[in-house]
Amino acid sequence: MFTSHKPVMETKDADKLLKDFFGEHKQEIQDNGFTRRVMRKLPEQADRSWIVWCFAFVGMVLSLMLGFSSGSLQAAISYLLQIPIYYLVGVIFCFPLVSTAGLLLAGNRRF
Partner 1 sequence: MSKTDDLRWVTQLTLLGDKSAFDKLTCKYQSPIRRFFLNLTMGDAPLSDDLAQETFIKAYLNINAFKGISGFSTWLYRIAYNVFYDSVRAQKHYADLDEHVVDCQHQTQNDFSAEKLDIYKAIKQLRREEQTAVLLFYIEDRTQNEIARIMNCPLGTVKTYLLKGKEKLNVYLTQAGYGN
Provide the 3-class DSSP secondary structure of residue 56. helix
Binding mask 77-106 for partner 1 (x = CB under 8 A): ------------------------------
Between CA 19 and CA 25 the distance in angstroms is 10
Cβ-based nearer residue to partner 1, 4 or 82 = 4
When binding is defined by CB under 8 A, the residue of 12, 25, 71, 78 that contacts partner 1 is 25
Cβ-based nearer residue to partner 1, 2 or 86 = 2
Determine contact, residues 80/88, Cβ cutoff 8 Å. yes
